[in-house]
């Protein structure tokens, strides 16, 4: 596992020990960022099921100005901190140990609005849809902001979820990536 491109290109990243976390492969990471970037001129990101932090760190390496990392596992939080330090992104990050629902509520109270949200939860279709519905209701994503959903290839997500519309869907073996953009209010 490594940072694929940007200012930290080639930097190795630690993985979370054990088999509870499934890191995004470099191939999928490269394809995903080519679909939404591949590089950014600032912006704020949220890596909601961060695991080792690979997606958020890739986004920072490619130009996001800040990323908030959230995971509920203590081992993941420790690895995220180590990977952030290795990439020298301490001043551009916040890391929280929390579950997704509580994290979204806390972020709503802070009135943070994201340009990019990365969702790579345990592969459960309903969780992705319900999380996106909450993000829509809580206005956590800017108009034209992007939500990236990584999921099992056999899960078919809807074309629309609230004000989010699918703009891209690709499959990479057993993994699928569906990308949504938030359209202006309806």
pLDDT tens per residue across span 107-163: 999 999 999 999 998 776 568 999 999 999 999 999 999 999 999 999 899 999 999
What domains can you pick out in the chain, each with its CATH number? 27-182 (3.40.50.150)
Q: What's the rounded Cα separation, in Å, for the pair 168 and 116?
A: 15
Predicted pLDDT at 185 = 63
Fill in the DSSP letter of residue 12: B
Fill in the DSSP letter of residue 1: -
- Pseudo-torsion of CA 138, 112, 34, 164, nearest 10°? 10
How far does Cα 29 stand from its chain's mean position?
A: 11
The predicted model scores a pTM of 0.94
- CB crowding 137-154: b at 16 or more within 10 Å, else e: eeebbeeebbbbbbbeee
Q: What's the rounded Cα separation, in Å, for the pair 2 and 54?
A: 8
> Above pLDDT 70, what percent of the chain?
96
């Amino acid at each position: 596992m490594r940072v694929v491109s940007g200012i930290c290109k080639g930097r190795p990243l630690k993985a979370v020990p054990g088999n509870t976390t499934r890191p995004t492969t470099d191939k999928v990471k490269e394809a995903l960022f080519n679909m939404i970037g591949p590089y950014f001129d600032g912006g704020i990101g949220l890596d909601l099921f961060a695991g080792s932090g690979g997606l958020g760190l890739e986004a920072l390496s490619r130009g996001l100005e800040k990323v908030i990392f959230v995971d509920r596992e203590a081992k993941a939080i420790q690895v995220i901190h180590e990977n952030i330090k290795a990439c020298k992104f301490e001043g551009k990050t916040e890391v929280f140990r929390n579950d997704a629902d509580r994290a979204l509520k806390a972020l709503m109270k802070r009135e943070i609005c994201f340009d990019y949200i990365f969702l790579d939860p345990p592969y459960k279709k309903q969780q992705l849809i319900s999380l996106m519905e909450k993000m829509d209701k809580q206005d956590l994503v800017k108009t034209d902001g992007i939500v990236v959903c990584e999921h099992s290839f056999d899960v078919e997500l809807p074309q629309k979820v609230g004000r989010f519309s699918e703009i891209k869907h690709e499959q990479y073996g057993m993994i699928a990536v569906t990308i949504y953009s938030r359209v202006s209010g309806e």
